[in-house]
Structure 1
Amino acid sequence: MNDKIALVTGASRGLGAALAEQLALRGWHVVAVARTVGGLEELDDRVKRAGLPGAGGLTLAPMDVTNDDAMRHLCRSIHDRWGGLGLWVHAAIHAAPLAPAGHLDQKDWDKSLATNARATGMLIPMVEPLLRAHQGTALFLDDPRAGQMFFGAYGSTKAAQMALARSWQAETAKHGPRVMIATPEALPTATRARFFPGEDRSKLADVQAEAARILNDL
């Protein structure tokens, strides 16, 4: 069981929640991290309602990935309880409202940098030893928007996140941990709705099906 411990950062909504749910239903014990307590509780309710034999469990960790001390304490707790991680899914993101680069809101810019770029750079050194202990895998979710009109804050900080992930992937290719990068299909999430209001969401991929596809490809 100890090698089927997963950490999902950004687990309360959208694809992160779907991945956490799919993992739990496949027998993983998932440490689910998010700021939204209600979203984490809804995730827990869905897994319990499924009632599948052999399903794993959830440890709900309501915290902000930008809080270095909280995340450091969580990683230490994972080490002390399970000795390591089999999987880390990093789905935490701040989706700043679309705006021209000449009119970026300072608070949204700072939050985008803190959540999308800085937190990733701080988390990788915290999580890497846990993954090494169980020959685990890190999974990042790409959403290439860099250079697109009005995506300055989100696109640039998401690109910085992915640059970190790709550097880590290249550095660990021979000796691990394994670093995987998936590019999900367009999904009817709250993040996408913020970017594309009024879009026909019936044409978008099912979130649970996409989560299952991504996990099957690992």
Structure 2
Amino acid sequence: MVNIAVVTGASSGIGAATARRLAGEGFHVVAAARRVDRLEALVKEIGTATAVECDVTDDTSVARLAAAVAGLDGTLTLLVNNAGGARGADEVANGSVDDWQWMYDVNVLGTLRVTKALLPALEASGRGTIVTVGSTAGFVVYETGGGYTAAKHAENALMGTLRLELAGKPVRVMEIDPGMVRTDEFALNRLGGDRARADAVYQGVREPLVADDIADCIAFMATRAHHVNIDRLVVRPIAQAAQHKVVREK
């Protein structure tokens, strides 16, 4: 029997790395994202995968994703809620409502939409797993990060509530909360495409985490015996002891 894994935000970064890793673990991966050209290249690369265009902020698009999964030959056993991101680095006093709205819609409501749409199939499988990619920003706040930390706190609350509500049902609810991860787009998108500012985020940090590190952890979580539930896995580079404690080499 083929196990199907859905990965949202699979067109780049952690999502793409996770799709590759899960395919290596024997899953048929449904790679979902808005950028179809990137998805098609990814699917061609890894083989055992299906590309589905999906905007997690749109109900109709998410419904199409669920329909595409239902039409595959296999059983949906894993959902990786990875789609998300940050916009802006303003203080609360001058925060952009548009940026905050986008972060809530993608990180919180997007996770809600996809989870709702796929939960019946995960439960019907008898061995469902949900892994949501949160952030250390989901339990520690910091200056100029109000919008993102608020959204990730809300996403954490969503997953914690879901775990309580699904107690006794055959669906595990897991969360992975990375610290500093260097990807091609996260900091760049957050800082409006300013490459110099984005590079400065990681300046002097020896071996920040990369997407493959998080994909490795997600695969570990998802492939434990089904009676094992890893509620929350916090992972940081060794150079980052806490949100405000980062060792930078000169």
TM tier, shorter chain? Answer: 0.7 to 0.9
State yes or no: 1:171 paired with 2:138. no
Which residue of structure 2 lines up, in the alignment, with residue 54 of structure 1? Answer: none
| Structure 2 gaps, min length 5 | 192-197, 223-250
Q: Which residue of 1 aligns with 2:18?
A: 19
Identity level (%): 30
Partner residue of 2:37?
38
Query: Which one has the bigger helix percentage?
Result: 1
**What's the TM-score, normalizing by structure 2?**
0.76
Aligned letter for 1:207? A
How far apart are 1:100 and its partner, in Å?
0.7
**Distance apart, 1:163 and its partner CA:** 0.8
CA–CA distance in 2 between the matches of 1:147 and 1:184?
14
In structure 1, runs of 5+ residues without a counterpart are: 49-56
- CA RMSD, Structure 1 to Structure 2 (Å): 2.1
Q: As a proportion of its length, which structure holds more strand?
A: 2
Indicate the residue corresponding to 1:212 in structure 2. 216
Q: Which runs of structure 1 show a deviation greater than 6 angstroms over 4 or more consecutive aligned residues?
A: none
Task: State the Cα distance separating 1:30 from its structure 2 match.
Answer: 0.8
Alpha-carbon shift at residue 168 of structure 1 (Å): 0.6
Q: Give the alignment of 1:106-145 within 5 angstroms.
A: 106-134=97-125, 135-145=127-137
2:143 match: 149
Question: 1:8 and 1:28 mapped to 2: Cα distance?
Answer: 11
* Equivalent pairs, count: 209
Residue 178 of structure 1 deviates from its aligned partner by 0.8
| TM-score (ref. length: structure 1) | 0.86
Cα displacement (A) at 1:130: 1.1
State the distance in 1 between where 2:174 and 2:106 align. Answer: 20
2:143 corresponds to 1:158: no
Whole-Å separation in 1 of the counterparts to 2:24 and 2:158: 30
After superposition, what is the alpha-carbon deviation per residue over 1:135-176, rounded to whole angstroms, capped at 9, x for unaligned? Answer: 210001221325211111111112111110111112223223
Q: C-alpha deviations, 1:157-209, integer Å up to 9, x for none?
A: 12111110111112223223111112235321121454653123652124224
Which amino acid in the other structure matches residue 155 of structure 1?
A: T
